[in-house]
């Protein structure tokens, strides 16, 4: 039988309406494939060693270690006594993680009523400091264990923390006592804002722990997906987190991964559950990523929740 993802290999994507039809055809059918889960965990461990490498730690980045930026050509930071003291000792996550929820920011989450489902996971990962205010709780849940923070958010939303840090520190309370995962060593302009965010959080009593994403890990994950047919200038934050989750968790369910302009009823939806600001087209390849993740869903390796949770 010719499968959908064989008919449309690599970057020749089917039109959105065919993707909708395929997702509807599959319905709620999902069978866990333990062999596949173990195989993928092994593949990810071999390529990227998430357990040891996902964050910059004192263990993997001693003084003198050169951190090559993964999003920048020939740019590096050599770990010195000042930066070294900002790094966590070793991977702090309580491994193995059991049920993980990776929450993307897709508009498909709106009115999904997936909040309860998400909050039932043992470890919940979110992208880019998303809003968790009361109006969204029913759809996206309340709990967070790890949330990514892009340095550009610090710049745009918090005036680079040059003025008041209070707004930043207060808004971070939404994430409880989670890990803030920042790609501080990916792009040159991102380092200073990341360090400022680190100090803003450590200068006051806070339950949050800053983790800097390890550029070696990010690069190896990018190479892994390139070899699997994702042709993007940079992977989306969500795909990095799914890769991390597949390497660390017994079970992975994704929510809010739906980079299309219509929902399953072919009604128009916004790009994010909280706004409709679109990504730069040339930068990410979210629909290609979706096709890869859908393939994993159909193979029982991870579970994608698209549409309503009931
Ligand atoms: O920083 P980036 O543009 O990658 O992410 P975002 O817009 O804050 O959304 C977080 C993640 O959710 C993305 O990285 C995608 O993996 C996923 N997403 C999606 O699959 N479909 C959407 N419509 C929006 C986001």
Pocket test for ligand 1, best of 16, 102, 106, 154 (most atoms within 8 A of CB): 106
pLDDT band at 49 (very low <50, low <70, confident <90, very high): very high
Residues 6+ apart with CB under 8 A from 31: 300
pLDDT tens column, 175-203: 999 999 999 999 999 999 999 999 999 98
ipTM over 0.85: yes
CA dist., res. 239 & res. 252, Å (int): 12
Q: Cβ(30)–Cβ(300) under 8 Å?
A: yes
**Distance from the alpha carbon of residue 49 to the mean position of ligand 1, in angstroms:** 24
Q: Cβ(110)–Cβ(137) under 8 Å?
A: no
Pocket test for ligand 1, best of 127, 151, 277, 287 (most atoms within 8 A of CB): 127
CA dist., res. 56 & res. 88, Å (int): 7
Q: Cβ(114)–Cβ(139) under 8 Å?
A: yes
**Residue 83, ligand 1, Cβ within 6 A:** no
**Residue 69, ligand 1, Cβ within 6 A:** no
Give the number of the atom of ligand 1 that is nearest the alpha carbon of residue 235.
4
CA-CA distances (angstroms) from residue 107 to 121, 147, 186, 190?
A: 21, 18, 27, 27
pLDDT of residue 227: 92
Across 227-236, average pLDDT: 85
Model confidence pTM above 0.90: yes
The share of the chain scoring above pLDDT 70, in percent, equals 95
pLDDT tens column, 250-306: 999 999 999 999 999 999 999 999 999 988 765 668 999 999 999 999 999 999 999
**Residue 306, ligand 1, Cβ within 6 A:** no
**Residue 128, ligand 1, Cβ within 6 A:** yes
């Amino acid at each position: 039988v010719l499968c959908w993802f064989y008919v449309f290999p690599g970057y020749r994507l089917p039109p959105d309406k065919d993707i909708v039809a395929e997702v509807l055809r599959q319905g709620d059918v999902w069978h866990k494939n333990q062999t596949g889960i173990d195989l993928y965990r092994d593949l990810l461990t071999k390529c990227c060693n998430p357990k040891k490498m996902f964050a910059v730690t004192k263990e993997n980045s001693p003084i003198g270690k050169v951190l090559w930026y993964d999003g920048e050509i020939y740019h590096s930071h050599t770990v010195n006594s000042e930066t070294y003291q900002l790094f966590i000792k070793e991977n702090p996550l309580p491994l193995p993680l059991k049920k993980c929820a990776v929450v993307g920011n897709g508009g498909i989450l709106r009115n999904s009523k997936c909040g309860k489902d998400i909050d039932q996971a043992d470890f919940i990962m979110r992208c880019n400091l998303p809003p968790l205010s009361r109006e969204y709780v029913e759809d996206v849940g309340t709990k967070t264990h790890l949330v990514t923070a892009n340095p550009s958010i610090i710049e745009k939303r918090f005036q680079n923390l040059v003025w008041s840090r209070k707004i930043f520190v207060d808004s971070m309370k939404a994430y409880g006592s989670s890990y803030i995962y920042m790609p501080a060593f990916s792009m040159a302009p991102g380092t200073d804002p990341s360090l400022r965010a680190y100090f803003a959080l450590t200068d006051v009593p806070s339950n949050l722990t800053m983790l800097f994403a390890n550029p070696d890990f990010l690069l190896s994950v990018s190479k892994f997906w390139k070899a699997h047919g994702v042709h993007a200038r940079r992977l989306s934050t969500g795909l990095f987190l799914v890769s991390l989750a597949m390497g660390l968790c017994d079970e992975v369910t994704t929510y809010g991964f739906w980079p299309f302009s219509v929902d399953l009823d072919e009604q128009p939806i916004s790009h994010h559950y909280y706004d409709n600001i679109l990504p730069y087209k040339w930068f990410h390849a979210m629909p290609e990523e979706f096709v890869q993740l859908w393939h994993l869903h159909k193979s029982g390796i991870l579970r994608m929740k698209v549409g309503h949770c009931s």
